[in-house]
Structure 1
Amino acid sequence: MITKEQIAEDYKQIQDEICTALEAADGLGKFEQEIWERDGGGGGRTRIIQNGNIFEKGGVNFSAVHGHLPHTVKKALNVEQDDFFATGVSIVIHPNHPFVPIIHMNIRYFEMPSSFGSQSEPIRWFGGGIDLTPHYVIEDDAKHFHGALKSVCDQFHADFYRRFKVWADDYFHIKHRDETRGIGGIFYDRLTANDEISWEQVFEFSKAVGRSFAPTYIELVNRNRDKAFTDEHQLWQYQRRSRYAEFNLVYDAGTKFGLETNGRIESILMSLPPTAKWIYDYHAQPGSEEEKTLSLLKKGINWV
């Protein structure tokens, strides 16, 4: 049986691999690490990169925490017991270039002892996903991104990409704006073994998603990092960052879970951009690239 300790160790290795790849891609920025402990049990490794050649602010964070769930979280998860263990890697990268997209990834594992005694199987599942938030939607990049995710999904189940893409479209939707945060990706939760996939395969899928992050994102970075841009392009970038902040503060389940389980505030809110702008009653110019991007921030677009 795969143990929670093994899962945590493999996630730490994935954190290491991603940090090494991102530092090489940036060429200047280096991750600073902070080891932290959580009141109530566990801790993690927060790694932040700032003011690099291309990465203005980013985090690649690992955590493995345990303890007792607050009542609000128990109610949200629809469970009776409160002992839990959770581990994962969470990533958000904010580039300094308007044509390089924001990216988010999370792979996580959650476990609770069985409420029927130590002889029963624990309640356990994997969750996670990757989604892309371009400031400007470049269709070839969107196709590459979704194609890479579909390739990973297809290795494990013929229907994973379709199901998890729809889930991402629904999850990363800014309801009060009636627009998606970006071009989606894949999102899944409470994924466990069944008649079609073993527990070992579910774990391998989680790791494969994590290891797809660096090559997929670095390809998009290198496609766009040398493009010229104007002050107007950067103003639009800051406008789109504000939508990212709105989603994370209002809807994001990971943010809520971290805050409600006494997580480390700096690690939880590292997902917010360093600079964002809320321009009152902004309207994109007809026929502009900004208007085109807004037209593509909707559910159900078939990129592959």
Structure 2
Amino acid sequence: MRQFATSVDAQFALTELSQVQAYFVNKLQTISTGTTFTSVEWLRDQGTHGGGKRFEASSNDVFNRASVNVSQVNYEDTPEKAFISATALSTIIHPQHPLAPSIHIHVSWTELRNGKKYWRLMADLNPAIEEVNDTRLFNEMLKKASGTYYESGIQQGDAYFFIPALNKHRGVSHFYLEGFVGDENTPERFAIDFAMQAVDCYIAILTEKLSYLAPPSDQQLQQQLDYHTLYFYQVLTLDKGTTAGLLIHNQNDVGTLGSLPAYINRDLLAQWIACSPATQQPLVKALVDLLPATSQVNITAQIKANIAIAIREHYQK
């Protein structure tokens, strides 16, 4: 049985983010008739220190990969730990059609033992092939949802999602606020409302796309495969949240790597070994080596498990 944090603020975060999760899953199921999201529960230390529940859609005509996760980990009984609890909504949706953009949303509440408490807010639009109007709509949503924090969130997002080795960004619109506490005028539900507005904006974009898109061309599918490879590279070599999650524990490896697209271009990934930083080249090579020797690779659950091992071994060295 999962043990939950006793803090009123952590309980608020878990209740509200779980409602956002249920709302998002319901909307995704509604616009993708026939898609079933399966509930998967995972436990930290058999539930003693919490865990989480994610809803996953198997690959189908609409979704390449889709995962909507809510977790709460707490160490109230472990005084040597620096943090008391962390409660998070983390979701990634990769549609099948190359003209339908992917979305990543992360909203979390953290309480440290030194008394510090803060939110972390992220929302980024990730099209394989950019549609300017989608980018405009998403940026308008971010500006409305974040208010006076818009410029700071965009600045931090642009820095976080930049890939120096490739001189490219992951995605076209990036928002990131780390250690967010707001001020006396910040509404209690600021972070929750931010998540809901990001969800509603994405659902509107995806609904419109699914209503008219023609079957993709081979060129569009190749662009998507290559972009998903870039996404794969950024997550596994630069994303601090993913790396930290894998290094802290091994009890949810497949879930932690739930943001990875279903297929990537192994040949393209191999080309990026040489341009990676010297300290990361062994990691990228290890990732390439554990993939089947085909150009297009299906990132299965077993491959995710192997990736997690490779990342841990790399940083332990």
Give 2:26's aligned amino acid. T
8 A contact 1:28–1:52 mirrored in 2: no
1:212-254 CA distance string (max 9 Å, x none): 1332112221332332221121011000000000111011121
Equivalent of 1:131 in 116, 124, 129: 124
Are 2:54 and 1:46 aligned?
Answer: yes
Aligned to 1:32: 38
1:133-176 CA distance string (max 9 Å, x none): 1111111111011111111112xxxx211110111111111121
- Number of equivalent positions: 257
Aligned to 2:247: 260
Aligned-partner Cα distance in 1 for 2:52–2:209: 33
8 A contact 1:21–1:214 mirrored in 2: no
Aligned to 1:144: 137
TM-score, length-scaled by structure 2: 0.76
Q: CA deviation at 1:257?
A: 2.3
Aligned-partner Cα distance in 1 for 2:83–2:169: 35
Give 1:129's aligned amino acid. M
Aligned to 1:275: 263
Give 1:242's aligned amino acid. T
Aligned-partner Cα distance in 2 for 1:25–1:258: 31
8 A contact 1:60–1:90 mirrored in 2: yes
Aligned-partner Cα distance in 2 for 1:235–1:185: 24
Equivalent of 2:189 in 193, 199, 204: 204
Aligned-partner Cα distance in 1 for 2:71–2:49: 11
8 A contact 1:22–1:214 mirrored in 2: no
Aligned to 2:233: 246
Aligned to 1:178: 167
TM-score, length-scaled by structure 1: 0.79
8 A contact 2:83–2:110 mirrored in 1: no
Q: Which structure is higher in RCO with an 8 Å CA cutoff and minimum separation 6?
A: 1
Aligned to 1:65: 73
Q: CA deviation at 1:7?
A: 1.4
Aligned-partner Cα distance in 2 for 1:211–1:126: 15
1:178-198 CA distance string (max 9 Å, x none): 10001123111101143x544
> Which runs of 5 or more structure 1 residues have no equivalent in the other structure?
71-79, 115-121, 283-304
Give 1:172's aligned amino acid. F
Give 1:187's aligned amino acid. Y
8 A contact 2:75–2:81 mirrored in 1: no
8 A contact 1:129–1:209 mirrored in 2: no
Cα gap change, 1:193/1:213 in structure 2, threshold over 3 Å: closer, same or farther?
closer
> Which runs of 5 or more structure 2 residues have no equivalent in the other structure?
1-6, 273-317
Give 1:168's aligned amino acid. G
Cα gap change, 1:109/1:172 in structure 2, threshold over 3 Å: closer, same or farther?
same
